[in-house]
Structure 1
């Protein structure tokens, strides 16, 4: 939602509000003077009311607002809505204050700011899982002081409960070269993503982003289904406007626990327990329990070097149909090694796994009788009071290689209906 950079009203929620781009240098300079120290660019927008005020504003005139009764977060008018004043009078209000301040960066909370009831409820729910206090945008310089309300800085009275003291905003430090995502569970932390899916960020993804890109993702952040399975994260440099560089003690402790793994990737089936369930199912069509069960069903697979990767390569080939070259790049092995894995796994499954679950050899006569249905049993399976198995052999077409005999080709190749493929009709006798 696009907000007026001056008064904060949503410029796209109502046609009567109007929206103007800051392509006029005079208007841009006035808005920058009003919004100092917040950065204002020519890509920002203001409402028509603020545009009119900026046109008639004198040089020494203080900041003017086109709309005053506006929700600080969503930008909707508060004229006919239940409102809440943002202050830090209790531990619950402090948590809500911190959540709103985290969400509206790089804007700041001004004295007397209000939010609508919907935003208040959303912040109240999200604040339970947030581990940090208010943060500062990465665009701010390290020597700038963090603006915290005076009520938060004052020493709590002796009679104040210990719970209220623990909910005071934690001190933060700036780590040069490191960034972190804004803490939120309401949407994908990738800036601009509008997808509604919210999956927990897998542990291996958090480790990889921290070690390779120096980008910390808090534990409770979410990802959509598209960004959950992507391989390239080079676009993170363009997300600095949605990142912060201030870290609390809890953030740093969590970062230290993520630093134990140096080389992490999206697909590392040799340690499948650290992968997300959604990622495993996307690539191999099985969940982690089913994947591990394959080794109990066919223990001969364990004789293959790097058996987990070999089985994953074969299942990925069946699942995606990708080329061997692409699969070898994803699994970080040579193409020749990948092809050897696929051949070995296929031979072992064909020999030990398939006969146990397909064909007549995996079931005995009594099991077939037990599966007879009522109507077929009455028609075919009960003679002289003795139950008998019912087996139906259905002739079907199978593809065969083209014969070099012209007469045989003419008799076996069907017309346009079968796309001129060579077909063979197999027959079975009961």
Structure 2
């Protein structure tokens, strides 16, 4: 199901007005590209509300949204739901990483929210290992006897990180020896 490139709402194929962003006037495309901070491509669609806003606001440079509250994962409107039924996705959280993998190659917006169903699915599952998008590892000191909690590191040059690897913290040699002896 296509999504509106401006407000992320899911647009049913059967909807009477499904607008391809590249079919718009050059002036409208220019405003849209300013709003979404990238070039418009053939796979980009617009909902009726965003097309109306673009037509009305071609002279205004402030970005407008046709739908204010949309689940970034499934595209349903969460405007009428209470605060407990939608969740803010914060950069670097497990839910954010899982959702970024799901919607890839689209980028996560700064104000990303998820409906309760999508947030619970993301909360229960780690990011898919086969996606190859994220690196999450732990930083350790050279001294293995230091039992401080490892610091999670999320690395990458863009909003989506480069490859997937979940690693467990390295246990001190003494603990490993005790564990292996207890298994005998």
Task: Specify if TM > 0.5.
Answer: yes
> Where do residues 288-327 of structure 1 align in structure 2 (5 Å cutoff)?
none
CA distance in 1, matches of 2:101, 2:127: 14
1:31 shift after superposition: 1.5
Q: Which runs of 5+ in 1 are unaligned?
A: 136-160, 175-243, 252-430
Q: Is residue 107 of structure 2 the alignment partner of residue 108 of structure 1?
A: yes
Closer, same or farther in 2 for the Cα pair 1:115/1:53, shift >3 Å? same
Closer, same or farther in 2 for the Cα pair 1:42/1:59, shift >3 Å? farther
Question: For the pair shown, which has the larger CA radius of gyration, 1 or 2?
Answer: 1
Q: Is residue 85 of structure 2 the alignment partner of residue 86 of structure 1?
A: no
* 1:378-399 Cα shifts (integer Å, max 9, x gaps): xxxxxxxxxxxxxxxxxxxxxx
1:21 shift after superposition: 1.9
1:110 shift after superposition: 2.7
CA distance in 2, matches of 1:128, 1:246: 13
Closer, same or farther in 2 for the Cα pair 1:173/1:85, shift >3 Å? closer
Partner of 2:162: 246
1:73 shift after superposition: 1.3
Partner of 1:162: 149
Q: State whether residues 31 and 61 of structure 2, in contact with CA within 8 Å, keep that contact through their aligned partners in structure 1.
A: no
Q: State whether residues 99 and 130 of structure 1, in contact with CA within 8 Å, keep that contact through their aligned partners in structure 2.
A: no
Q: State whether residues 98 and 133 of structure 1, in contact with CA within 8 Å, keep that contact through their aligned partners in structure 2.
A: no
**SS of corresponding position for 1:115:** strand
Partner of 1:34: 35
1:51 shift after superposition: 0.3
Q: State whether residues 98 and 134 of structure 1, in contact with CA within 8 Å, keep that contact through their aligned partners in structure 2.
A: no
CA distance in 2, matches of 1:124, 1:13: 30
**SS of corresponding position for 1:247:** coil
* 1:312-371 Cα shifts (integer Å, max 9, x gaps): xxxxxxxxxxxxxxxxxxxxxxxxxxxxxxxxxxxxxxxxxxxxxxxxxxxxxxxxxxxx
TM-score normalised by L of structure 2: 0.65
CA root-mean-square deviation: 3.4
Partner of 1:268: none
**SS of corresponding position for 1:127:** coil
CA distance in 2, matches of 1:115, 1:40: 25
* 1:57-111 Cα shifts (integer Å, max 9, x gaps): 23452111111111111110003441011125xxxx7111111112222332233
TM-score normalised by L of structure 1: 0.30
After TM superposition, what 4+ stretches of structure 1 lie above 3 angstroms from structure 2? 13-16, 128-135
> Where do residues 83-232 of structure 1 align in structure 2 (5 Å cutoff)?
83-87=86-90, 94-127=93-126, 130=129, 162=149, 165-166=151-152, 168-169=153-154, 171-172=155-156
Q: State whether residues 173 and 247 of structure 1, in contact with CA within 8 Å, keep that contact through their aligned partners in structure 2.
A: no
Closer, same or farther in 2 for the Cα pair 1:42/1:57, shift >3 Å? farther
Q: Which runs of 5+ in 2 are unaligned?
A: 135-147, 167-184
Q: Higher helix proportion, which one?
A: 1
